[in-house]
Amino acid sequence: MSVTERRELLFAAAVRVLERDGLAALSTRAIVAEAEMSLASFHYAYETHEQLLVEIIAATIDGELSAGLAGLGDAAARTPREAIHGALTSYLELVRADPGREQGMFELTQHALRRPTMTALAADQYAKYHAAAAELLDHVAKRFEVTWSVPTADLARLVIAMTDGLTLAWLTSRDDEAAARLITLTTDALLAHLEDS
């Protein structure tokens, strides 16, 4: 087996363990067991356990972005409200479909914030979240020929803060109706800063 193939298998196994059992259970032993390998073979692909963690954080950033906010580009939306409401709703669907995944993201962020060598990763993670949200807000403005009366960089932070808060609220309560109302309130908050060009 090639080193790169082994890395990919271990990486995929690690993501499964993280989502299913949480970061606290993401030991080297759990990973190789999930990948059905021997313990020693882990270090043939990765130097240290922490190195895999770093790679997971870095990689999950991009995946999260494309999946979570893909709904914003939804071609079926006929108004800015539909576009934004639909995007937030499709994000919530993602959380509902795989709660462990979003929980794993939070755990990774918290973990990174606690280690000096990894805090930059957490900062990068959120910088990319904000950039992606801003890009999609710009996309909505362009598509519907409207303009945001507040810098999209600021509105993007509002979007990300709300998705984080929405996720935590749903994870702790599992209340779909309350989450739907929260999405509507968030949509209202964003649309208040939209004006015709």
Partner DNA sequence: GTCTATAGCCGGATAGAC
Partner DNA sequence: GTCTATCCGGCTATAGAC
Q: Which residues bind a second copy (CB under 8 A)?
A: 21-22, 24, 103, 106-107, 109-111, 113-114, 122-123, 125-127, 150, 154-155, 157-158, 160-166, 168-169, 171-173, 178, 181-182, 185-186, 188-189, 192-193
* Dihedral (Cα; 115, 168, 65, 111), 10-degree rounding: 10
Question: Is 21 one of the binding residues for DNA (CB under 7 A)?
Answer: no
Instruction: Assign 87 to helix, strand or coil.
Output: helix
- Candidates 8, 22, 25, 151; binder of DNA (CB under 7 A) is 25
Q: State in angstroms the smallest separation of the CB of 97 from a second copy.
A: 17
Q: State in angstroms the smallest separation of the CB of 20 from DNA.
A: 14
Radius of gyration of the chain from its Cα atoms, rounded to whole angstroms: 19
Q: What ranges in 69-118 are assigned the alpha helix state H?
A: 80-97, 99-114
Phi-psi region of 79 (alpha: psi -120 to 50; beta: other; left: phi over 0): beta
Residues forming contacts to DNA in the complex (CB under 7 A) are 1, 6, 25, 27-30, 37-44, 47-50
